[in-house]
Chain A
Amino acid sequence: MFKAQSTSRRRLGPKPWPLLVIGSLFAMASLPAWAALGGDLSTVQADQVHMRGSLRTTVAAAYTVHEIESTSGVVVREYVSSAGKVFAIAWQGPWPPDMRQLLGSYFDPYIQAARARSGPGMARRPLMIEQPGLVVQVGGHPRSFVGRAYIPDQLPSNVTAEEIR
């Protein structure tokens, strides 16, 4: 599970994750931090109330993570590029999040891709949607879900999908 560095100790230079985190700040205030995948952080203040809960912001070298933990125990982490774009979302909780809200304009392509799954072994397994413009992975079991979604070509350079969790 993603853990924020809890001190302001600085680690310089390109280091492998989790050393990529160069510092953190904790913001319990009403930062405009909730957006759908592919959305623009600066334009989504209206969305921030959708999922009430504590908010924590972590600044890494190539992106900022906005983490919201709702009272129901679902944790959502949004990965925002330096350009202010949400390029990835990760979540964890006792049930899946509102995927329509999280994926925004990517929800319908996600549903279409999920319905189109076929081939050996595609039914009973973690969900894997892998398209040129969208990757969605959901695993776990009832009472414990883990997932992530990202836009492959919007991952900042030197950022790997494994960091998104």
Chain B
Amino acid sequence: MKATGFQALAVCLALAFSAACGGGGKSSSSSSSSPAPAQTITTSGPNVATIAVNGGPTGDSVDAAFTSVTVCVPGTSTCQTIDGVLVDTGSSGLRLLSSALTIALPQQNASDGNPVVECLPFVSGFTWGPVQTADVEIASEKASSAPIQVISDTDFAIPTACADRGTSEDTLSSLGANGIIGVGLSAQDCGDSCEVVETAPGTFNFYYECPSSTATCQPIGESLAQQVQNPVALFATDNNGVIVELPAVSGGEEPSVTGSLVFGIGTQSNNALGSATVYTADPTALNFTTKYNGTTYPDESFLDTGSNGYFFPSTITQCGSQAPGFYCPSTTMNFSATNLGMNGASGTVDFSVANALTLFEETPDFAFGDLGGTFSGGFDWGLPFFFGRNVFVAIQGQSAPGGTAPYWAY
């Protein structure tokens, strides 16, 4: 069914007193008016890692998917498996809390021998800590000698330019995970703009060299190969992207759901693109376009397992201080929006938003199909979007079937 967001909203408003706009609470459903083809979730194969939406290591993370990652001192059998690592299609690169890491990994050094340290900005804060090298193993895949970030505030002093962006996320409670495995659209976390030091006012540098734990760190240019890498891009095979496969959330909420992170697109018998529609992304901003409620949000929207809801501009009642920014409609509301790839592909997405505070009362549920909140940009299609559909994430610069990466397909 094709309908503009405005039409869908009008229909929803017209039917506001019927079941069509949901009833709220436990009985609500996130079922779509245009059912997708039956979903097949791959559960076995050397390129399949299990992921779970289960509250994570803090025990209170809603709509966040976690997996286990093994890191090894490169070329050795000195390894550690770390669970509770957030699966994030909105960033690239493996980052582990120093406090979760018990093995010593080799430090990456700048040309003058000083340790390289990174400030990686996320929307919720930044991660600061040294760039170290590890063999990264997940499922039966291996990224050899991959630069990763070890998150720590105490190894090196945070530069002012980094601290002035927000708050540091160097603890389990502030990060919400033991680490983040960024399996997004790019092969490096920063890209071309970090190859040289930015000096213009208002610019920002990701990479620094730090002569000592207390000395002032200085920004440096960091080559693409030395930047923190999307580990998938370094796999020997299955290195052109991932598929996130999570089942639908029965009844709109469940204590947990389990799915798969499949490596490679069209490289094995279990990761074919099939009939999924390819939506290419802007290679710089890594966004595509969403139309909603009569407004087009050009190049401002993205698919992100690392966001725990549908975040979009709306005048829906917000929850207030108990859950700031989340939406708290009195009854579950249904919406429709249209995603447009840079390649001209378009498709309608139907989704629902329930009262977040009501959902959060449903302990011990951690998987919510209808969680949403406000965003002043375009559409942040967070984890609820991934429930019930397999989503392909093809890495920029890699060859992938069906279109030119970077792209999403679903």
A: which residues have CB within 8 A of B? 1, 49-53, 70-72, 74, 90, 92, 94-101, 107, 111, 114-115, 118-130, 137-148, 162, 164-165
Contact = CB atoms under 8 A, between A and B. Distances in A.
Interface in B119-154: 120-125
A115 B169 CA distance: 9
A127 B297 CA distance: 20
Contact of B86 (A50, A120, A124): A124
Nearest to A147: B376
A68 to B, nearest CB: 9
Contact of A52 (B191, B202, B285, B311): B202
B306 A124 contact: yes
B380 interface: yes
Contacts of B182: 142
A118 to B, nearest CB: 8
Contact of B202 (A53, A124, A144, A148): A53
Contact of B121 (A96, A111, A120): A96
B7 to A, nearest CB: 19
Given A141-B90, A141-B286, A147-B376, A120 B325 contact: no
A53 to B, nearest CB: 7
B91 to A, nearest CB: 5
B280 interface: no
B165 A121 contact: no
Given A121-B61, A123-B175, A92 B125 contact: no
B373 A125 contact: yes
B302 A121 contact: no
Nearest to A123: B176
* Contact residues of B: prevailing secondary structure: loop
18 contacts: A1-B298, A50-B202, A51-B202, A70-B203, A72-B200, A94-B193, A98-B164, A123-B64, A125-B325, A126-B124, A126-B374, A127-B123, A127-B125, A128-B374, A141-B90, A143-B285, A144-B300, A162-B315
B375 interface: yes
A17 to B, nearest CB: 11
Contacts of A148: 376
Interface in B71-108: 86, 88, 90-92
Contacts, number: 198
B304 interface: yes
B186 A143 contact: yes
B325 A142 contact: no
Contact of B324 (A49, A50, A129): A129
B34 interface: no
Given A70-B202, A124-B64, A124-B176, A142 B122 contact: yes
A139 B204 contact: no
B166 A128 contact: no
Contact of B167 (A71, A74, A115): A115
Interface string B148-191: 00000000000001001111010001111100001010100111
A127 B122 CA distance: 9
Contacts of B322: 119
B311 A139 contact: yes
B376 A127 contact: no
A27 to B, nearest CB: 19
